[in-house]
Chain A
Amino acid sequence: MYAQMVKSEATQEDPEKLAAFQARIDAGEKIEPKDWMPVGYRKTLIRQIGQHAHSEIVGQLPEGNWITRAPTLERKAILLAKVQDEAGHGLYLYCAAETLGVTRDELTEMLLDGRMKYSSIFNYPTLTWADMGAVGWLVDGAAIMNQVPLQRTSYGPYSRAMIRICKEESFHQRQGFDIMMKMASGTEAQMRMAQNALDRFWYPALMMFGPSDKDSVHSEQSMRWKIKMNTNDELRQKFVDQTVPQAEYLGLTVPDDKLVWNEEKNGYDFSEPDWNEFFDVIQGNGPCNTDRLAARNKAWDDGAWVREGLMAHATKKSAMKVAAE
């Protein structure tokens, strides 16, 4: 999940209007940008969609790290296409957020100065090529778990962005699994690399779904508004149940001694991630937080002349056109 711990806003508005709004959502209607909506709904969505967009954009960095070092030209082209998709996902989502009355530059500034968050997962480093496999398989896999139900979210532009994104995601997960298959069936050193990547990404991937339901304070209102479709623990369980057999197929070991099939609940019992680590990463103390934000700030600053230059050119051209008329 790319939006973690999204604080939901309380709403104090005309109870009649609120009830009518809730009735529309309960009836499965989509809310569109010009429709009346509670202030809290709008604010929570800006925060959630913005965080999701930032995650797509920052999420390019750990994978971008390997584009120039991909082992073959084909792998390089595939990774490049995957990372380009993530840029697209960021753009779809920023546009959805903008329909709620926030500007792109405001969103960007809030990312760059740390007022808005992005998913904790992207604050972990990608140390070997096998990490490209683990990221596609586990990180995009976890994202899909969350994004598929969000296609039915109540806010029209968000739902449409999710539909586009979901169409593109399974390529991402498959290319990652494909890398893992190659590594896991390769030399002993490759196998070790694959296992090591799984060891490092397993718990951070579980953290993507956000804190345990018992500590998740913001869920209820968001679920009523259908901007959150499942609880964190539901999605995490689903992810584990789907992923463990895939790890077995690869001949890899999930780094969890307590992992065991539970016949009764028809799912795995598993260890929770270290939540202290999670909160620490969210607070900005993960292994790569500083690097990631520095990279985004540098890109923004280095790109200023391009943004300004193109705008100046466009203004000049339209002035000339007006003069010629």
Chain B
Amino acid sequence: MTQQRNEWPLWEIFIRGQHGMSHRHVGSLHAADSETAILNARDVYTRRNEGVSIWVVQAQQITASSPSDKGPLYEPSEAKVYRHPSFFDIPKEVGAM
């Protein structure tokens, strides 16, 4: 198609489901700007009281790790088993720790 498109940008939507919870990614939508993105997010993602707070982030502003980085990115932490408490055996007599 030769026609120049002027599509509304894509926004990623994050919603806090309840007080005390962190925001969670729920999906995305198109909107001309951040204000209308929030209004649209309310209509699209909180029709049944699913949220108490909405974040919108323009999708193109997000930098994501690439799946092929999986090895180099996460391998260093896999080697450090001592970071988990179960690495250490503490005698029963010591009690809760």
Within 8 A of B (CB), among A47-91: 81, 84-85, 88, 91
User: Which of the candidate stretches B6-14, B72-80, B81-89 sits at the interface with the other chain?
Assistant: B6-14
Which residues between 277 and 325 of chain A lie within 8 Å of chain B, taking CB atoms?
307-308, 310-311, 313-314, 317-318
CB-based contact A34/B64 at 8 Å: yes
Bound together, the chains give a CA A80 to CA B7 distance in angstroms of 28
Flag whether A103 is at the interface (Cβ < 8 A).
yes
- B27 lies within 8 A of A34 (CB): no
Decide: A318 and B33 in contact? CB cutoff 8 A.
yes
Chain B contributes a number of interface residues (CB within 8 A of A) equal to 20
Known pairs A95-B28, A314-B32; A88 contacts B47 (CB<8 A): yes
A229 to B62, CA, bound (A): 33
Q: Would you give the 0/1 interface string for B20-33, flagging 1 where the beta carbon is closer than 8 Å to chain A?
A: 00000001111011
Q: Is the CB of B47 within 8 A of A34?
A: no
> Total contacts A to B, CB within 8 angstroms?
53
A92-115 interface (Cβ within 8 A of B): 92, 95, 98, 103-106, 109
Given contacts A35-B67, A84-B47, contact A105 B7 (CB under 8 A): yes
Identify whether the interface residues of B are mostly helix, strand, loop, or mixed: loop
On whether A161 and B27 interact (CB within 8 A), knowing A32-B67, A310-B36, the answer reads yes
Q: In the complex, which residues of chain A have a beta carbon less than 8 angstroms from the beta carbon of B27? A: 92, 95, 160-161, 164
Q: Closest residue to A310 on the B side, CB-wise?
A: B32
Report whether A104 and B7 are in contact in the complex, using a CB–CB cutoff of 8 Å. Answer: yes
Task: Give the interface size bracket for A toward B.
Answer: 20 to 34
Q: How far is the CA of A17 from the CA of B96 in the complex (A)?
A: 50
Contact A109 B33 (CB under 8 A): no
Q: What does the 1/0 interface line of B27-70 toward A look like (CB < 8 Å)?
A: 11110110010000001100110000000000000001011000
| Interface positions of A (Cβ within 8 A of B) | 32, 34-36, 81, 84-85, 88, 91-92, 95, 98, 103-106, 109, 160-161, 164, 168, 307-308, 310-311, 313-314, 317-318
List 16 extra interface pairs beyond A34-B64, A109-B1, A307-B8, CB under 8 A. Answer: A34-B66, A81-B47, A84-B43, A84-B47, A85-B47, A88-B44, A91-B44, A92-B44, A104-B7, A104-B30, A105-B7, A106-B1, A160-B27, A310-B32, A310-B33, A314-B32
Question: What are 26 A-to-B residue pairs whose CB atoms are below 8 Å?
Answer: A34-B64, A34-B66, A34-B67, A84-B47, A85-B47, A88-B43, A95-B27, A95-B28, A95-B29, A98-B28, A104-B7, A105-B5, A105-B7, A106-B1, A109-B1, A168-B48, A307-B6, A307-B32, A310-B8, A310-B32, A310-B33, A311-B6, A311-B8, A311-B32, A313-B33, A314-B32
